Structure 1
Amino acid sequence: MKKFKEHWNIKQNWQLLFPFLGLLVLTYSSYKLANALINNSNISWVILFAIVIFFVLLKFTLFLFKKLESKWDLQYKWEFISIFLVFAVTGTSSIFIARPIIKLIGITKENLNLFAYWFLYIIIGFIFYQILLVLIGWLFGQFKFFWKFEKKMLCRLGLKRFLD
């Protein structure tokens, strides 16, 4: 455990929450992917395939950490996990918020062209994604990182005047 804490720059025990949550989310995602891909009622094959997916995703995630370590200015390695968790939670949350808003406005696939429906759905989801990214980033203790990230994204979209 001491080696693990040193590798991830964990100074206090509460910071162990992020690697634990990261592994939990990775395990759940691996199982859901395996279950969707196999479509087999034999649970042992699903679990076996989930284990393979877990290790592939873990290797890919650790590869991303190394690539982003020089790009993102973070003090501790465990912050990478919290940032990835924020991206995951925000993406899922923005979809769950966009769906009722679309219904509230009265937009359905039946009363609107399918292309226009999906375009509006993505636009509304994107707007709420921007808001949620900062809010959920704040909840995970990464407000500074996500505010900087948000400002950069809005500048790239040509919306710099809204930041001044």
Structure 2
Amino acid sequence: MNKLKKLWNIERNWQLIFPLLGTVVLAYASYKLTAAFFKDVHVLLTILLSCVIFYTLLKLTLFIFKKLESKWEVTYRWELISIFLVFASTGSSSIFVSRPIIKLMGITKENLNPFIYWVLYIIIGFIFYQILLVFIGWLFGQFNFFWNFEKKMLRRIGFKRFIE
């Protein structure tokens, strides 16, 4: 346990939730990927393939962590896990929030050209993604990181005068 704490710069026991939660989410994603690509496979083979995908994704994630640790200027390594969890949960949440909003506005595939429907769906989802990114980042204790991330993103898409 001390080795894990030292590796992720964990100073308090509550911070262990991030490596644990990250591992659980990665395992679940590995299982879902296996189930999606190999539908009619025996249970033991599904578990074995899930383990292989888990190991591959874990190695990829740790490689990405090394690259982003200096770029994102985080204080502790466990914050990287927190940031990744915020990105993952925000992406899923923005879909769940924007879908009812689109229906409430009366926008459906039946009353609109499918191309226009999907463009509006993406725009509305993008707007809610930006809002949820800061909110969920705050819930995970990463408000400053995501607020700066948002300002940087909005500057890049041309909203400089609204932020400064």
TM-score grouping bracket, smaller chain normalisation: over 0.9
Letter in 2 for 1:97: V
SS at match of 1:32: helix
**How far did residue 41 of structure 1 move?**
5.1
Q: Report the equivalent of 1:23.
A: 23
The answer on 1:147 being equivalent to 2:147 is: yes
Give, in angstroms, the shift of residue 48 of structure 1: 1.2
Could you say which residue in structure 2 is the equivalent of 1:100? Answer: 100
CA distance in 1 between counterparts of 2:161 and 2:30 reads 42
Match of 1:9 in 2: 9
CA distance in 2, matches of 1:122, 1:43: 37
Local SS of the residue matching 1:70 = helix
Q: Distance in 1 between matches of 2:114 and 2:65?
A: 38
Which residue does the alignment assign to 2:42? Answer: 42
Task: Specify the alignment match of 2:77 in structure 1.
Answer: 77
Q: Deviations over 1:71-117 (max 9, x none)?
A: 01110000000000000000000011111111111111111111111
Residue type of the alignment partner of 2:89: V
1:110 — aligned with what?
A: 110
- What's the counterpart of residue 33 of structure 2? 33
Aligned-pair Cα RMSD in Å: 0.8
Unaligned runs of 5+ in 2: none
Contact 1:40 1:46 (8 Å CA) reproduced:
no
Q: Which amino acid aligns with 1:40?
A: D
Q: What is the total number of aligned residue pairs between the two structures?
A: 164
CA distance in 1, matches of 2:35, 2:149: 34
Per the normalisation by structure 2, the TM-score is 0.98
> Does the CA contact (< 8 Å) of 1:34 and 1:46 recur in 2?
yes
Structure 1 length-normalised TM: 0.98
Q: Which amino acid in 2 is paired with 1:31?
A: Y
